[in-house]
Each structure stands twice: as structure tokens, then as C-alpha cells.
């Protein structure tokens, strides 16, 4: 009896194990059917603060520079705050110049990263300069580059004798009444200390009518995260190569019977042809 009981116990154990393995396999197969697709851009993730500034620039040039004044060193908080807290801080700063409707539009723009391509455009322009080595921010004064604030005055002396730089439609020009002035283009990341130091000097010179101050976004150390885009449809066309043998005669018979039943059940102008036929 003992060997028989042991045999039955082993069979029961093997049976339960096989059932568990079959369920596990079914779960694995069902899980593998789910397909998740992400659409990533070729450029890295861009800072939300810069995207918010582009939203402001689209509203007006005046709002852009007003917003800029309030967030000169805001990026410092990014190192200590969580991403969500920093996101809310940007919205709070933007709320000083926008109503609730435009704040909701800004949130939507953040969700689809609508202004990320504009930031990348400026980043590409800066790469074509190219930027000096080891500089968090730098200025270009009529083809001359420097990342030292004390050299700006020196480069301005003979700036008019050099070629005037080409300005793009999306460039951010500091408000001034004069246009025929030496052009100083600042490449910096808004919200950083390096930007704040340059901005203080250049804005004073622009207000005094000495220069035409232009700001272009520049990120010295781009994020290592990928730039995932939303708001785009992705279609995956998957074709099954499995072929199953079916008996066509049975399919045709069932189809014909169904058609006949539907025809008999139909009523045409008060006549039930199905009953008349029977």
C-alpha cells in the first residue's frame, strides 16, 4: 500500500506542476501579445523652462523678457526639487503673466512638447558657431566669440567694422528703439547663474542704447534622457503567417442556411413570404 500511495502522491504532484507550468505559459503568451510603441525624437530632452519661455515669446516679446527677469536663476531649484515640484514652480512663475486659460494651454504645450523643436533649433545654431570649449554661456559680437564678461567692452570697440550677423525671425531681441547698433548675441541657458551674469551686463547696455541684445538658447550639457513625443499616431501592421485548413462545403452550407432564414423572416409590405411558402 505504501508504494501505491507514494506513486499516487508523485502523480498528483507532477499533475499540479504541469498545470502550474501550463498556466504560467498561458500568462506569458498573453502578456507577450501587448505591444507598446514610443516615438522618440533624434534630439535629447529639452528643459521645460526654455519651452515655457518660447510659449511666452509667442504671446509677445514683452512677456518673454518679463518672464525671463523672474526666472534668471530658477534652474538652481531643479537640483534640489523633484521634477513635479519644479514643473509647478514654472507654472507659478508663468501665472504672473498669464490667465487661467493660457496656463491650461501651457500645460497642454508641455504635454506634447510643442516647443521642444524650437529649443533644438537654437541648439543647432549654437553648434554651428561653434561654442568655445568649457563655456556654460558665451557671446558672439560680429563674428568674435568670448565667454568672459570683461572682454565684451573690448570686442565692441571695432564691432561695426566687422560683418553684421544675420538675425532669424525667431530670435529674441531685447526691447529697444534703435536697430542700427552693434549686435551682441548671447548663447546661454535661461535660469542658470552663467546666464544671469551675462544678462545683467547686456541688458544694461541695451537699455543705454549701446547694443542690440539678442538671446538664443544654448544648453552646454544636454540631458541624457530621450525626447519622447506625444500626440502622434503609430500604426503597427502585423500579418499572421499561420494557415488553417477549413472545410469550405460546411461554411457554404451554413451561410446559405443563414441567408434563407433571414429571407423568410423578412416582411415585405405586410406579406410574410416565409409563412406563405410553408
Residues 32-83: tens digit of each pLDDT? 566 777 788 889 999 999 999 999 999 999 999 999 999 988 877 877 788 8
Whether 61 is in a domain gets the answer yes
Q: How many domains does the chain have?
A: 1
Whether 15 is in a domain gets the answer no
Residues 17-26: tens digit of each pLDDT? 444 445 545 4
Flag whether pLDDT at 31 surpasses 70.
no
φ, ψ for residue 138, nearest 5 deg = -155, 160
Q: How far is CA 148 from the centre of its chain?
A: 33
Residues 124-144: tens digit of each pLDDT? 999 998 888 889 999 999 999
For 151, the grid coordinates are: 572682454
pLDDT computed for residue 116 by the predictor: 93
Whether 242 is in a domain gets the answer no
CA atoms of 268 and 252, how far apart (whole Å): 26
Kind and range of the H or E element at 214? strand 212-217
Whether 266 is in a domain gets the answer no
CA atoms of 99 and 95, how far apart (whole Å): 7
Flag whether pLDDT at 243 surpasses 60.
yes
Widest Cα–Cα separation across the chain: 110
**147: number of Cβ within 10 Å:** 18
Instruction: Give the chain's mean pLDDT.
Output: 81
Reading phi first (left if > 0) and then psi (alpha if -120 to 50, else beta), residue 245 is in: beta
Entry pTM = 0.71
Flag whether pLDDT at 15 surpasses 90.
no
Q: Which domain holds residue 186?
A: 40-228
Residues 76-118: tens digit of each pLDDT? 787 778 889 999 999 999 999 999 999 999 999 999 899 999 9
Whether 176 is in a domain gets the answer yes
Whether 181 is in a domain gets the answer yes
pLDDT computed for residue 187 by the predictor: 97
Residues 112-128: tens digit of each pLDDT? 899 999 999 999 999 99
DSSP-assigned letter for residue 175: P
Whether 218 is in a domain gets the answer yes
Whether 48 is in a domain gets the answer yes
To the nearest 10°, the Cα dihedral for 248, 254, 255, 261? 170
CA atoms of 89 and 91, how far apart (whole Å): 5
**232: number of Cβ within 10 Å:** 8
Amino acid at each position: 500500500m505504501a508504494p501505491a500511495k507514494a506513486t499516487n502522491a508523485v502523480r498528483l504532484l507532477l499533475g499540479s506542476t504541469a498545470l502550474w507550468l501550463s498556466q504560467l505559459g498561458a500568462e506569458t503568451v498573453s502578456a507577450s501579445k501587448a505591444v507598446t510603441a514610443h516615438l522618440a525624437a533624434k534630439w535629447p530632452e529639452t528643459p521645460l523652462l526654455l519651452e515655457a519661455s518660447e510659449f511666452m515669446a509667442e504671446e509677445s516679446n514683452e512677456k518673454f523678457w518679463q518672464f525671463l527677469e523672474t526666472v534668471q536663476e530658477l534652474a538652481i531649484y531643479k537640483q534640489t526639487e523633484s521634477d513635479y515640484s519644479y514643473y509647478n514652480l514654472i507654472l507659478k512663475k508663468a501665472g504672473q503673466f498669464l490667465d487661467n486659460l493660457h496656463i491650461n494651454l501651457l500645460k497642454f504645450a508641455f504635454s506634447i512638447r510643442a516647443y521642444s523643436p524650437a529649443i533644438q533649433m537654437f541648439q543647432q545654431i549654437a553648434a554651428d558657431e561653434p561654442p568655445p570649449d568649457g563655456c556654460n554661456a558665451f557671446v558672439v559680437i560680429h563674428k568674435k566669440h568670448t565667454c568672459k564678461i570683461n572682454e565684451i567692452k573690448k570686442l565692441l570697440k571695432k564691432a561695426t567694422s566687422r560683418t553684421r550677423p544675420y538675425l532669424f525671425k525667431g530670435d529674441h531681441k531685447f526691447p529697444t528703439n534703435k536697430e542700427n547698433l552693434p549686435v551682441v548675441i548671447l548663447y546661454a541657458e535661461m535660469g542658470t547663474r552663467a546666464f544671469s551674469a551675462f544678462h545683467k551686463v547686456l541688458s544694461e547696455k541695451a537699455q543705454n542704447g549701446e547694443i542690440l541684445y539678442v538671446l538664443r538658447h544654448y544648453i552646454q550639457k544636454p540631458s541624457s534622457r530621450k525626447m519622447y513625443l506625444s500626440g502622434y499616431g503609430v500604426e503597427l501592421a502585423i500579418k499572421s503567417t499561420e494557415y488553417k485548413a477549413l472545410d469550405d462545403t460546411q461554411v457554404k452550407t451554413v451561410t446559405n442556411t443563414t441567408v434563407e432564414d433571414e429571407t423568410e423572416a423578412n416582411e415585405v409590405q405586410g406579406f410574410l413570404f416565409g409563412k406563405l411558402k410553408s
